[in-house]
A = this chain, B = another copy of it.
Amino acid sequence: MGLSEFALIDRFFRDCGARRTDVSLGIGDDAAVLEPPPGKQIVAAIDTLVEGVHFPLHSPPASVGHRALAVNLSDLAAMGAEPAWALLALTLREVNESWLAEFSRGLDTLAREHHVALVGGDTTSGPLTVSIQVLGFVEPSRALKRSGANAGDLVFVTGSPGDSAGGLAVELGSLHAATQPARTYLRERFLFPTARVALGRRLLDFASACIDVSDGLLGDAGKLAHASRCRVELEYSKLPISAALLDAYGEQRARELSLSGGEDFELCFTVPPSRIVDMERALPAERWGYSRVGVIKQGTDAVVVDNGTVMDFSHSGYDHFSTVR
């Protein structure tokens, strides 16, 4: 890319995102200069989307811009942090003005929604790859970790995991069974996932542990179990399945997808029994969009139980039921 092309790209990002008074120096110098609020900790996450890996070739560019930021906002949400600033590393095969305009619009819309300023970046030539790094704040020692769950805590998840996997199938043209409204809904969930930032902030007062669901609910619950040195038991019958996913896949496959489908960017969190009543009063489940899906026990790993029986899971889906315990 020549210098003029970099200048062109710069045009699309210089005014991207929210205006913030804590940005002392934004895009256009060697680095950004930022004013952290006194008495807060900084929370930092970085995530990358690669064309053909995290999104199909020829994805809507606004979706690529949205998702590249959303995956990072979701990481901050899982820590209970308030996002503030983002940096973008964009690698492009070619300078396509309409692609850049749409990409930056998708990024800009979500950034403004969360009052995030794009403060720096880097554009390079190469296979389409988008890395965004988001910085935010959290009150000292209050960040939600994966490691805080204890036996007896209840397990919750936001939204209806699996929808993103269904939406990806729509995008890839491999989902034909579903009705048009179901296809439209699922596709939207894949293209424009919701980062649960406001809920993450509120969960600081209630949750004992939290993780962003990006690699599938069961796998991510397993990471929480590992970090907390406990066992997560998810209840098969309590998995929140959207009507659209049910319509598209039928019950068994929809439940499998809710456990194994990736890229949902929902939050899986645990709450001690003593905090449940207060949480449900302060954050009504139907308004905040979360469901109870399980319980923390002593032990290891994350498992799915149905009528007291542990279900056997492999990456190819549920092979069979077991009676291990």
Contacts and interface: CB of A to CB of B under 8 A. Distances in A.
Contacts of A30: 45, 74-76, 78-79, 146, 210-212
Contact of A129 (B47, B127, B211): B127
Interface of A: 3, 24-25, 28-36, 38, 41-54, 74-76, 78-79, 81, 85, 87-89, 91, 119-122, 124-127, 129, 131, 133, 135, 138, 140-141, 143, 145-147, 210-212, 215, 219, 227
Contacts of A47: 89, 122
Contacts of A34: 41-44
B43 A33 contact: yes
A135 B44 contact: yes
A29 B46 CA distance: 12
Nearest to A137: B36
The 9 A-B pairs of least Cβ separation, nearest first, read: A50-B126, A31-B45, A30-B78, A131-B131, A89-B131, A46-B87, A127-B127, A34-B42, A133-B133
A12 to B, nearest CB: 17
Contact of A25 (B119, B145, B210): B145
Main SS at interface, chain A:
strand
26 contacts: A3-B215, A3-B219, A28-B227, A29-B227, A30-B74, A30-B212, A31-B44, A31-B45, A31-B75, A31-B78, A32-B44, A32-B45, A33-B42, A33-B143, A35-B140, A36-B41, A36-B42, A42-B135, A44-B87, A46-B120, A46-B122, A49-B124, A50-B91, A50-B124, A54-B124, A131-B131
A69 to B, nearest CB: 14
Contacts of A33: 41-43, 79, 138, 143
Given A30-B78, A75-B30, A138-B33, A46 B3 contact: no
Contacts of A87: 44-46, 133
A145 B29 contact: yes
